[in-house]
């Protein structure tokens, strides 16, 4: 169940983590990524194209084409992927969607969500793909 991110963002995070465990500039087809992550190829292609436009992922066209991580894994944080796909509004808006939610006029979960939001943002901003490689490999091997 998605709580914070869109399905598109979840797939983007998984796909970039998948690419991060490959050798530098190793090209992986959308078909291979879709098989590994068990999602439709068209969905993978669409999401990775957005990440290509943002500079996180690179692409090569043609018969042996596909996608690769365009930056070193040590330079990419999960928050970069979230920003490219969903934007960062979730970290600045009311989780229940109330307009004008603020400290002065809080929604019913404002205080609790504020703490969770800060913790989530911090977690996504701290570790790089390089730091997550070992855990990513273990997860992918068990899919």
Q: What is the pLDDT of residue 134?
A: 85
Instruction: Report CA dihedral (132, 61, 80, 93) to the nearest 10 degrees.
Output: -130
Strands (E), 38-132: 57-60, 66-69
Domains in the chain, CATH or no CATH each? 7-141 (1.10.10.10)
Q: What is the pLDDT of residue 92?
A: 84
- pTM for the full model? 0.87
Q: What is the pLDDT of residue 1?
A: 39
Read off the pLDDT of residues 79-137 as tens digits, 9 standing for 90 and up.
Answer: 999 999 999 988 888 888 899 888 899 999 998 888 888 999 999 999 999 999 888 87
């Amino acid at each position: 169940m998605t709580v914070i991110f869109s399905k598109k963002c979840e797939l983007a995070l998984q796909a970039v983590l998948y690419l991060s465990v490959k050798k530098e500039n190793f090209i992986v087809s959308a078909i291979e990524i879709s098989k590994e992550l068990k999602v439709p190829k068209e969905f993978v292609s669409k999401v990775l194209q957005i990440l290509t436009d943002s500079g996180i992922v690179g692409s090569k066209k043609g018969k042996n084409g596909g996608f690769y991580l365009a930056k070193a894994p040590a330079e990419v944080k999960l928050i970069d992927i979230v920003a490219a796909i969903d934007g960062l509004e979730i970290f600045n808006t009311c989780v229940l969607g109330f307009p004008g939610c603020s400290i002065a006029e809080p929604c019913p979960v404002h205080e609790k969500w504020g703490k969770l939001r800060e913790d989530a943002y911090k977690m996504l901003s701290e570790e790089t793909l390089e730091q997550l490689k070992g855990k990513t490999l273990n997860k992918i091997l068990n899919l």
